[in-house]
Chain A
């Protein structure tokens, strides 16, 4: 779980990198955002952290216990396929391969496909573990999955409507909302884990409210 939180945080930091670079082009250089640019290092780099982070969440949510049934195996194939289809009809079918701009062409396909990967894992995590996942972490993990969905929506909206983008447009607003949701998701995921840590007081390990006795007898 801790590693998942770190991955999500790094993913968001990379988004910040992308946003800062884009802002530099817009507000300092006063030029159209080049594509690709250093900002794409941030935005594209995010995808790897998000994918690894959601894999860790899926593992923590007990997805391996839910993969034995036929229905689950069907979902594992169907969910990514449906999202891939969605991606194709919304975005990919309008792209063509332009070998004179290999990096731009690569990113054109990699952005939507990378998003397909992490949102598929997120949706599968929800659908395959909702019957087994419980306790205090259940709602927090579900919120993180919702945060992924918000981020996915923001990214696809930007890809689809990027030609009409301008600073302060509704696309920026959608991104701001998704970042807020994601940041809050990370924070609320982190809090219960932090609260359960034992503390050291005067060299003695303690729980939240009880000081453990240092003299114990083992019953044989």
Chain B
């Protein structure tokens, strides 16, 4: 699997952690298709779909702000638009 998606998930979670603290990790685990242990990320299924679900999870709390924070956290990673879910383009 392309490690960039795992790095993207870690970046998003760490950025959200700065706002909501350890709860960010709990919310990432709620996605179900993500398993985070000791800084390692396992993705189950389509990584684009998993990214979408992760951002939607955070969007419940802070709305457009959470989406913006997520986008901000991966903007240096040079994803092509078609590599990202629509919510992160």
**Total count of chain B residues near the partner, CB < 8 A:** 28
The answer on a CB contact under 8 Å between A1 and B20 is yes
Tell me how far the C-beta of B22 lies from the nearest C-beta in chain A, rounded to whole angstroms: 8
The answer on a CB contact under 8 Å between A133 and B30 is no
A196-B27, A207-B30 given; A216·B44 CB < 8 A? yes
The answer on a CB contact under 8 Å between A196 and B62 is no
A210-B32, A218-B1 given; A197·B62 CB < 8 A? no
Near B by CB (< 8 A), chain A positions 190-220 give: 192-193, 196-198, 205, 207, 210, 212, 216-220
Inter-chain contact total with CB atoms closer than 8 Å: 83
Interface bits B9-38 vs A (CB < 8 Å: 1, else 0): 000000000111111001101101001000
Main SS at interface, chain B? helix
Cβ-neighbour of A196 out of B18, B26, B44, B65 (below 8 A): B26
The answer on a CB contact under 8 Å between B65 and A135 is yes
A1-B19, A2-B21, A60-B19 given; A129·B29 CB < 8 A? no
A196-B26, A197-B23, A210-B32 given; A218·B42 CB < 8 A? yes
Contacts of A217 in B (CB 8 A): 44
The answer on a CB contact under 8 Å between A62 and B68 is yes
A217 to B27, CA, bound (A): 21
The answer on a CB contact under 8 Å between B60 and A136 is yes
The answer on a CB contact under 8 Å between B63 and A138 is yes
A62-B68, A217-B44 given; A193·B62 CB < 8 A? no
Is A184 part of the contact surface with B, judged by Cβ < 8 Å?
no
Is B77 part of the contact surface with A, judged by Cβ < 8 Å?
no
The answer on a CB contact under 8 Å between A1 and B21 is yes
A197-B23, A207-B29 given; A219·B44 CB < 8 A? yes
The answer on a CB contact under 8 Å between A138 and B62 is yes
Q: Nearest chain-B residue to A193 (Cβ)?
A: B23
A207 to B34, CA, bound (A): 13
Is A134 part of the contact surface with B, judged by Cβ < 8 Å?
yes
Is B84 part of the contact surface with A, judged by Cβ < 8 Å?
no
The answer on a CB contact under 8 Å between B26 and A198 is yes
A59 to B62, CA, bound (A): 12
Is A137 part of the contact surface with B, judged by Cβ < 8 Å?
yes
Near B by CB (< 8 A), chain A positions 98-152 give: 129, 132-138
A167 to B15, CA, bound (A): 49
A217 to B33, CA, bound (A): 10
Q: Nearest chain-B residue to A59 (Cβ)?
A: B19
Is A3 part of the contact surface with B, judged by Cβ < 8 Å?
yes
Seen from chain A, the residues whose Cβ lies within 8 Å of a Cβ on chain B are 1-3, 59-62, 65, 129, 132-138, 192-193, 196-198, 205, 207, 210, 212, 216-220
A/B interface sample: 10 pairs, CB < 8 A: A1-B21, A2-B21, A60-B62, A62-B68, A132-B63, A134-B63, A135-B62, A197-B26, A212-B29, A219-B43
